[in-house]
Amino acid sequence: MIRARSWQSTLFDVFNLGFLALLGLLCLLPLIHTFAVSLSSKGPSMAGLVSFWPVGFTTYNYEHLLVASQFQRSFVISLVRVLAGTALTLLVVVLTAYPLSLAEGFPGQRVFKWILIFAMLFSGGLIPWFLAIRSLGLYDTMGALVLPGVVQMFSIIIMLNFFRQLPQEMVEAAAIDGASHWNILFRIYLPLSLPCLATLGLFSAVGHWNAWFDGMVLMKRVANYPLQTYLQTVVIGRSFAEIISMVDTRELAEKLSTRSLQAAMIIVAMIPILMLYPFLQRYFLTGLTLGSVKG
Amino acid sequence: MRPVAASVSVTRFPVGPSVGVSRRSWRLRRRVPLYLMLLPALIGLALFHYYPMYGIIVAFKDYQPLIGFAESPWVGWYNFRLMFSTPDIWEILRNTVVIAVGKIIVSQVASVSFALLLNEVAVLWYRRLIQSLSYVLHFLSWVILGGILLDLLAMRGLVNNTLVNVGLPRIPFLNSPALFQPTMILTDVFKNFGYGAIIYLAALTSIDPNLYEAAAVDGANRRQLLRHITLPGIAPTIVLLAALSLGSVLNAGFEQVLVMSNPLVLSTGDIIDTYVYRVGLLGAKYGIGTAMGLLKGLVSLVLITLSYYLAERLANYRIF
């Protein structure tokens, strides 16, 4: 189709492309700046001379993270939490969504749905939540980071809606052939819902990696902090005691700038997310639209 | 455990209900796995959602940690009276609503505008590239992005240094009570506008291309296409998201505010959640904190229910 283009239209296109390029750049610049600071040496970094290119290039800050024991410990805690939390969450999602998705129904199905929905709409608030977890004996344990979030209501609903779209004839045929519900779920439903499961798994993993408030409230010792909570104390709380414990005082005076060290920590904490990013992009569109509007 | 259960049902009831056992008991036995499947979620809900709800009684008690919340003495509405006699309470409620509603409005406008501008780009790779860049920040935690922004927006940070270089005065984004709320709203929109645009872009791609062609043949220009085809096409999505956002009128963004606020901006930066955390949890005034949280929970319950009702009425949306 040949479209006569007015000069206004072309002008708009030029401005639009330019504006969007600026917007895209704007989203990237804070990260570039942080990266540049993390690679800059103490003087320029502290004096605020670094913009988007390292000044007095050094990898000293990253080398330092290689020997910073608490940083590494927290990194590992976060990794364990991501793996355990995501695995458990997905297991519960699948197990819960299947019975709730069955069209044939069973006594208690409706009641359970409402129990689930009500928990999604209403919560007791921060303090009862904290007191409950403490009274369950989970305070200052890995369980406190993983178990309270295991029942993800929204993910269950997305999965449930996905299961419902699967052809029910298949289930009936399998049931007539003698397949139990376990078989139907794990041999028929599950292989068909891998993309959906991958989406929910990625979201859960990102959520666990990024969570920090629960670690701050539920962990007593810094030694048990997940990475983001540890970053909170060092970068946001500027806990001087924590920074001092990381470094030699003489080093701090000579070449280490706390600002560049913090930037390096931020960059390292971002790496897992950036690694997952291509997958996130591929899957989250499905994830977003799956659970939402149904015709 | 799984193969065992499978073999049991296969060997005992090889051809369904007709062999030996009554149809009724076959169905009952066949249902047992369904209840077992729901068991983990039921336990999780009981321990981490309903047990804390029981803990709400702390709001009506003089909670003493040593004897636990069941045994602590009842004090009736004392905690609520105490809460409403706090001089700052109205300020806190106002801050919460202003920040939350500001975010809802600005982010909707930003996401729709961004989606529409992106939709006008004909070059596919360019469009994808910009879109990818636009939501990268969404996936970073507020500790990371907050840490970066605190550094960038500080009085001696990159943004202010740039302002000085072009001859403008420094702006106290984070330390001035008057600017703190706009800073919260804009940085939140900055983090999330690209992600919010995804759903609009999905709605845009589902508009029938024949409509555009037919209109173009009839001589419609770009502005007319936007006005008469594109906007009506995404209007249901806009209405839906507006309805759903009603549920977050009391969510000003706890993590963001906790990370980015400081004592200088307490008068405009203290929201319900930070108050509950600071006074209730850190200050160990569990009674007041629980009362405040309960109030927020109840109002949110009403708002969310209303928002789902509206979403169903206006946009035919159902979560189940």
Q: Whole-model pTM?
A: 0.89
Interface probe with B: pick from A126, A176, A274, most Cβ of B within 10 Å: A126
Residue B132: list chain A partners with CB under 8 A: 281
Tokens of A37: 């600071």
A125-152 residue pLDDT tens: 999 999 999 999 999 999 999 999 999 9
Are A180 and B10 a contacting pair at CB < 8 A? yes
A15 touches chain B (CB under 8 A): no
Across the interface, of B6, B222, B276, the residue whose CB is closest to A126 is B276
Are A210 and B317 a contacting pair at CB < 8 A? no
Tokens of A122: 């209403």
Are B41 and A116 a contacting pair at CB < 8 A? yes
Q: What is the ipTM score, two decimals?
A: 0.90
Across the interface, of A112, A127, A294, the residue whose CB is closest to B289 is A127
Q: Where in chain A is the domain with CATH 1.10.3720.10?
A: 69-218
Are B293 and A128 a contacting pair at CB < 8 A? yes
pLDDT-flagged residues of chain A (< 70): 1-5, 238-254, 284-295
Backbone region of residue A139 per phi and psi (left: phi > 0; alpha: psi in -120 to 50; beta: other values)? beta
Are A285 and B51 a contacting pair at CB < 8 A? no
pLDDT number for residue A46: 84
pLDDT number for residue A1: 42
Estimate to the nearest angstrom the gap between the alpha carbon of B151 and the chain centroid.
26
pLDDT, block means (10 residues), chain B with 320 residues = 40 48 76 94 96 92 83 89 89 96 96 95 91 92 95 92 93 94 97 92 89 89 90 92 91 94 92 94 92 94 93 80
Distance CA B268, CA B98 (A): 10
- Identity of the amino acid at A207: G
Across the interface, of B120, B216, B301, the residue whose CB is closest to A121 is B301
Across the interface, of B52, B139, B320, the residue whose CB is closest to A280 is B139
Task: Name the A residues in 44-103 with CB < 8 Å from any B CB.
Answer: 48, 51, 91-92, 95-96, 98-100, 102
Do residues B34 and A96 make contact, with C-beta atoms less than 8 angstroms apart? no
- 3-class SS string, A254-291: HCCCHHHHHHHHHHHHHHHHHHHHHHHHHHHHHHHHHC
Q: Give B74's strand partners.
A: B61
Are B320 and A113 a contacting pair at CB < 8 A? yes
Task: Name the A residues in 120-179 with CB < 8 Å from any B CB.
Answer: 121-133, 135-136, 147-151, 156-157, 160-161, 175-176, 178-179
pLDDT number for residue B18: 52
Tokens of B117: 């501008």
Interface probe with B: pick from A127, A258, A265, A271, most Cβ of B within 10 Å: A127
Topology given in CATH for the domain delimited by A69-218 = MetI-like fold (1.10.3720)
Cβ atoms within 10 Å of A137's Cβ, excluding its own:
10
B82-128 residue pLDDT tens: 889 888 899 999 999 999 999 999 999 999 999 999 999 989 899 98
Do residues A182 and B7 make contact, with C-beta atoms less than 8 angstroms apart? no
Do residues A194 and A80 make contact, with C-beta atoms less than 8 angstroms apart? no
A109 CB-near residues (< 8 Å, 6+ apart): A99, A100, A102
Distance CA A186, CA B5 (A): 12
pLDDT number for residue B25: 81
Tokens of B131: 């879109």
Are B143 and A31 a contacting pair at CB < 8 A? no
Distance CA B163, CA B127 (A): 31
Q: Closest Cα of chain B to A254: distance in Å? A: 22
| Domains, in order of start, for chain B | 2-58 (no CATH), 78-315 (1.10.3720.10)
Do residues A248 and A163 make contact, with C-beta atoms less than 8 angstroms apart? no
pLDDT number for residue A232: 92
B135-169 residue pLDDT tens: 999 999 999 999 999 999 999 899 999 999 999 99
- Identity of the amino acid at B312: E
Are A293 and B320 a contacting pair at CB < 8 A? no
pLDDT number for residue B92: 95
Distance CA B197, CA B217 (A): 29
Tokens of B27: 């169905």
Across the interface, of A34, A232, A285, the residue whose CB is closest to B198 is A285
Residue A12: list chain B partners with CB under 8 A: 120, 222
Are A126 and B121 a contacting pair at CB < 8 A? no
Distance CA B59, CA A142 (A): 29
Are B150 and A48 a contacting pair at CB < 8 A? no
- 3-class SS string, B228-276: HHHHHHHHHHHHHHHHHHHHHCCCCCHHHHHHHCCHHHHHHHCCHHHHH
Do residues A152 and B48 make contact, with C-beta atoms less than 8 angstroms apart? no
Distance CA B18, CA B247 (A): 52
Residue appearing with tokens 């049902």? B9
Residue B239's nearest CA partner among B209, B266, B215, B203 is B203
CB pairs under 8 A between A and B: 285
Distance CA A257, CA A60 (A): 10
- DSSP states along chain B: -HHHHHHHHHHHSTTGGGSSS-HHHHHHHHHHHHHHHHHHHHHHHIIIIIHHHHGGGGGGB---TTTHHHHSPB-TTHHHHHHHHSTTHHHHHHHHHHHHHHHHHHHHHHHHHHHHHHHT---HHHHHHHHHHHTTGGGS-HHHHHHHHHHHHSTTSHHHHHHHHTTPPP--TTT-HHHHHHHHHHHHHHHHHHHHHHHHHHHHHTS-HHHHHHHHHTT--HHHHIIIIIHHHHHHHHHHHHHHHGGGTT---HHHHHHH--GGGHHHH--HHHHIIIIIIIS--HHHHHHHHHHHHHHHHHHHHHHHHHHHHHH-----
pLDDT number for residue B271: 95
Across the interface, of A157, A181, A235, the residue whose CB is closest to B147 is A235
Estimate to the nearest angstrom the gap between the alpha carbon of B49 and the chain centroid.
18
3-state secondary structure of A52: coil
Are B13 and A178 a contacting pair at CB < 8 A? yes
Cβ atoms within 10 Å of A76's Cβ, excluding its own:
11
Are A180 and B161 a contacting pair at CB < 8 A? no
Do residues B130 and A20 make contact, with C-beta atoms less than 8 angstroms apart? yes
